């Protein structure tokens, strides 16, 4: 009962816009009296502040938490208020692709839809820091205007393996692209006066048994690959909070790991903000606090009891407890809620939809375009749109990273909006199947509480040869959309990497029949991550990868197919020829389907029992993705950083100049084709002592402006020497090798002795 009173008080206090609880109590929280407040708080109040109110419907043993306790229905969690001291609840909400709250509320005619922006991997594929920052600003605006304080994003874990269920939410296999994208995103969101929570720190690179599995990697792999994106983003963008990950790291829970959270994060990187657990992460509130994990979310009474008991026994120090309380108060006083911001509940969703569409376009990667199949110049052409995903388009992924948007533009609608004529008979065939499959699914799952956040994706089906013959006669072009979906709580099974039987048949039949009639075939990959392409790409004329492009996805693909936008995306990860070309392929649960029931996993008797389930060894060490593939001398189907344009670009000039503690690299890029477009300058470095390094590593990148035919642009990179260092496991520090360095952009290289 006590909790409920505090909870309802916190709601009441929030309603007052700031929190002045007990009127005659002079001491009320403000930005300048935090130490005083800490000293005035009781142990009970401190434990209350450091443990969230809880998840709707789930009991904190004393109270069952309801939607209204979330203050903003659909928010992921809130902190407890301490009205006596003027401390309000603050609201924490997901997610990386846009604010995730309930779109409707009981007894409220207003709606609360949010914009579904391109998912993380699509943003990374744009290789455009300014665009990512702009996306962050728009999302941050919706967080603020719908009354939330902290956005639980960005997801920044390395895509170590193509089958990790949450790769769609993350950015890349490369730590530099991941870190710089995250930094841009955080800057954008926090410009709006709300906070972020860079997550999941660290080594959360699989969903299978995520709450109990033990990630085991070398110190060098941690420093140069898995910690690196967080280090870059934290130093550059100062996220208000960090979310620790579920998993163990070398046998210690990340959320109870002083080496990770005190020594590295705060000691070495100088992070001053708050650390929170992932939801239900860890198993001991006192160990969380003692290790520097300040806030326990969503929280429960037993976590609070652990704090109080440990403190009374002297197992939780005053210093650690008060440090966490102080950091939590320092966070609260920054938040819109504390500062009484009068949110509108009316963000400019129309303007944000346009931003979502533009940014989705820039994330689209053109993998193949034989004989200038694309763009489709003539609108008079009839188009046969195959693939059920064309009609049930994937705007986002599964789980807390998904958005409750008002609509999704599928590819049929997008192509129609662009003025194309689509074969209506074929469209009806697919639309009828979507309807029938969806109704069947809904009937079978009515009232069942199956996989949490489950998302139904209809299955493709075979079309008989005569029918396809008919479509080939009456249409000028075929487009086939293939879909791949994934998300939180489960990794993808290895079968997801390859074409399904019905997809193989569709590609074979359509390409054979349309080519026989001198018609072309375009494949659109509406996917959550890398998949196999080598076995079928020669059968088609063009391949486009729009990823999960948000609510305007269908319009964005049509913008590129029609030539309104020249594609400038580049792969943020390797498209391997075969799954087993993935470095460390066998050290991943590729054949263990983890589903929602194992969301909380099985607490292993000991963490050495089942490989890739209770523990995962990062056997590839620093050689993740292209770093490993190139070291092994293997070829990708499409390599990291690859992407075509409707025009061509030349690297006109590349030069390097040594300064005292850095090098300055200048590169000039020219649009040598006929179509205006943007190009990405990807700066790679090859270090001396090649035996211990990858053949090349991404160092930085910049995207040009839109260059017209014949136009050039010079880009400058300012590279401090410490960015050329690597981790020395003997010295336990980073060191810079002396010798000859090679810098490369495109096909140009320059060397310099450093």
What are the residues binding ligand GLC (CB under 6 A)?
76, 94, 152, 199, 278-279, 400
Minimum distance, C-beta of residue 281 to ligand GLC, in the bound complex (Å): 8
Tokens linked to 621:
């060490």
Tokens 């099974």 found at: 493
Tokens linked to 288:
């969380």
Rounded CA separation 115/139 (Å):
8
Q: Which residues contact 381 (CB under 8 A, 6 or more apart)?
A: 420, 421, 475, 476, 477
The answer to whether the beta carbons of residues 277 and 295 sit under 8 Å apart is yes
Between 95 and 188, name the residue whose CB sits nearer to ligand GLC.
95
Tell how strand 365-369 and strand 542-545 pair up.
Answer: antiparallel
Cα 714–chain centre separation:
31
Rounded CA separation 10/620 (Å):
49
Between 281 and 677, name the residue whose CB sits nearer to ligand GLC.
281
Between 239 and 483, name the residue whose CB sits nearer to ligand GLC.
239
Between 95 and 118, name the residue whose CB sits nearer to ligand GLC.
95
Rounded CA separation 333/32 (Å):
10
Minimum distance, C-beta of residue 76 to ligand GLC, in the bound complex (Å): 4
Between 91 and 480, name the residue whose CB sits nearer to ligand GLC.
91
Between 152 and 164, name the residue whose CB sits nearer to ligand GLC.
152
Minimum distance, C-beta of residue 298 to ligand GLC, in the bound complex (Å): 8
Query: In degrees rounded to 5, what are phi and psi of residue 554?
Result: -65, -35
Beta bridge partners of 483: 526
Between 374 and 599, name the residue whose CB sits nearer to ligand GLC.
599
Tokens linked to 661:
């503690």
Using DSSP, state whether 528 is helix, strand or coil.
coil
Using DSSP, state whether 317 is helix, strand or coil.
coil
Task: Please identify which of the residues 278, 402, 491, 614 carries the catalytic annotation.
Answer: 278
Between 69 and 559, name the residue whose CB sits nearer to ligand GLC.
69
Minimum distance, C-beta of residue 22 to ligand GLC, in the bound complex (Å): 32
User: What is the secondary structure of 723-738 as a DSSP string?
Assistant: GG-EEETTTTEEE---
Closest alpha carbon to 582 in 531, 508, 656: 531
Query: Packing angle between helix 465-474 and helix 501-516, nearest 10 degrees?
Result: 40
Closest alpha carbon to 298 in 84, 93, 86: 93
Q: Is position 278 annotated as part of the catalytic site?
A: yes
Q: Which residues contact 511 (CB under 8 A, 6 or more apart)?
A: 478, 521, 539, 540
Beta bridge partners of 718: 664
Burial 121-135 (b: 16+ CB within 10 A, else e): bbbbbbbbbebbbbb
Between 199 and 334, name the residue whose CB sits nearer to ligand GLC.
199
645: exposed, middle or buried (Cβ count in 10 Å: 0-12, 13-18, 19+): buried
Helices assigned H by DSSP within 373-532:
411-417, 424-445, 465-474, 501-516
Rounded CA separation 637/582 (Å):
12
HSE on the CB side for 112, CA within 13 Å? Answer: 23
**Catalytic residue numbers, as ranges:** 278
């Amino acid at each position: 009962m006590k909790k409920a009173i505090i909870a309802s008080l916190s709601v009441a206090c929030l309603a007052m816009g700031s929190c002045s609880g007990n009127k005659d109590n002079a001491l009320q929280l403000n930005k300048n009296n935090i130490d005083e407040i800490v000293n005035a708080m009781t142990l009970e109040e401190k434990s209350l502040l450091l443990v969230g109110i809880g998840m709707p419907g789930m009991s904190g043993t004393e109270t069952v938490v309801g939607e209204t306790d979330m203050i903003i229905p659909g928010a992921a969690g809130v902190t407890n208020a301490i009205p006596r001291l003027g401390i309000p609840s603050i609201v924490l909400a997901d997610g990386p692709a846009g604010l995730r709250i309930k779109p409707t509320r009981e007894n409220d005619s207003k709606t609360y839809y949010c914009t579904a922006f391109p998912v993380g991997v699509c943003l990374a594929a744009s290789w455009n820091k300014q665009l990512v920052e702009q996306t962050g600003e728009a999302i941050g605006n919706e967080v603020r205007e719908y009354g939330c304080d902290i956005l639980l994003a960005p997801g920044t874990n390395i895509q170590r393996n193509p089958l990790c269920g949450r790769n769609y939410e993350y950015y890349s296999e490369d730590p530099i692209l991941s870190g710089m994208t995250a930094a841009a995103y955080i800057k954008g969101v926090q410009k709006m006066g709300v906070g972020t929570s860079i997550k999941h720190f660290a080594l959360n690179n699989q969903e299978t048994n995520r709450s109990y599995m033990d990630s085991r990697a070398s110190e060098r792999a941690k420093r140069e690959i898995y910690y690196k994106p967080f280090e870059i983003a934290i130093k550059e963008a100062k996220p208000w909070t960090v979310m620790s990950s579920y998993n163990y790291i070398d046998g210690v829970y990340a959320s109870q790991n002083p080496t990770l959270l005190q020594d590295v994060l705060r000691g070495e990187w100088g992070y001053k903000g708050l650390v929170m657990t992932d939801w239900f992460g860890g198993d001991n509130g006192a160990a969380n606090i003692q290790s520097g994990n300040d806030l326990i979310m969503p929280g429960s009474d037993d976590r609070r009891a652990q704090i109080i008991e440990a403190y009374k026994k002297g197992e939780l120090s005053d210093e650690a407890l008060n440090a966490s309380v102080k950091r939590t108060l320092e966070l609260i006083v920054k938040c819109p809620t504390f500062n009484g911001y009068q949110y509108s509940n009316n963000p400019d969703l129309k303007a944000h939809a346009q931003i979502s569409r533009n940014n989705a376009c820039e994330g689209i990667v053109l993998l193949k375009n034989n004989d200038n199949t694309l763009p489709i110049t003539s609108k008079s052409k009839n188009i046969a749109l195959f693939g059920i995903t064309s009609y049930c388009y994937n705007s986002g992924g599964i789980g807390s990273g998904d958005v409750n948007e008002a609509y999704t533009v599928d590819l049929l609608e997008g192509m129609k909006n662009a003025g194309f004529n689509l074969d209506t008979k074929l469209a009806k065939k697919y639309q009828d199947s979507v309807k029938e499959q969806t109704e069947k699914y809904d009937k079978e799952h009515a009232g069942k509480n199956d996989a949490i956040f489950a998302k139904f994706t209809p299955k493709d089906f075979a079309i008989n040869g005569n029918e396809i013959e008919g479509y080939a006669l009456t249409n000028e072009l075929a487009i086939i959309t293939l879909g791949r979906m994934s998300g939180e709580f489960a990794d993808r099974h290895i079968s997801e990497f390859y074409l399904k039987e019905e997809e193989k048949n569709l590609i074979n039949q359509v390409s054979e029949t349309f080519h026989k009639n001198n018609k072309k075939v375009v494949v659109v990959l509406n996917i959550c991550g890398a998949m196999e392409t080598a076995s079928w790409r020669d059968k088609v004329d063009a391949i486009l990868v729009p990823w999960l492009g948000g609510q305007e996805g269908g319009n964005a693909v049509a913008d590129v197919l029609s030539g309104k936008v020249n594609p400038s995306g580049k792969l943020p990860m390797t498209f391997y020829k075969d799954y087993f070309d993935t470095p460390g392929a066998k050290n991943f649960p590729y054949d263990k389907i983890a589903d929602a029931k194992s969301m909380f996993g099985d607490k292993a008797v000991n963490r050495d029992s089942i490989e890739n389930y209770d523990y995962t060894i990062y056997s590839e060490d620093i050689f993740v993705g292209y770093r490993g593939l190139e070291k092994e001398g293997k070829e990708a189907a499409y390599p990291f950083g690859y992407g075509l344009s409707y025009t061509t670009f030349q690297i006109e000039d590349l030069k390097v100049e040594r300064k005292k503690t850095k090098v300055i690299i200048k590169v000039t890029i020219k649009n040598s084709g006929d179509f205006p477009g943007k190009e990405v300058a990807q700066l790679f470095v090859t270090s001396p002592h090649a035996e211990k390094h990858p053949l090349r590593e991404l160092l930085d990148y910049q995207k040009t402006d839109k260059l017209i035919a014949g136009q050039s642009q010079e880009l400058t990179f300012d590279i401090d020497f410490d960015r050329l260092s690597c981790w020395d496991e003997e010295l336990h520090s980073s060191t810079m090798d002396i010798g000859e360095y090679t810098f490369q952009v495109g096909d140009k290289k320059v060397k310099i002795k450093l």
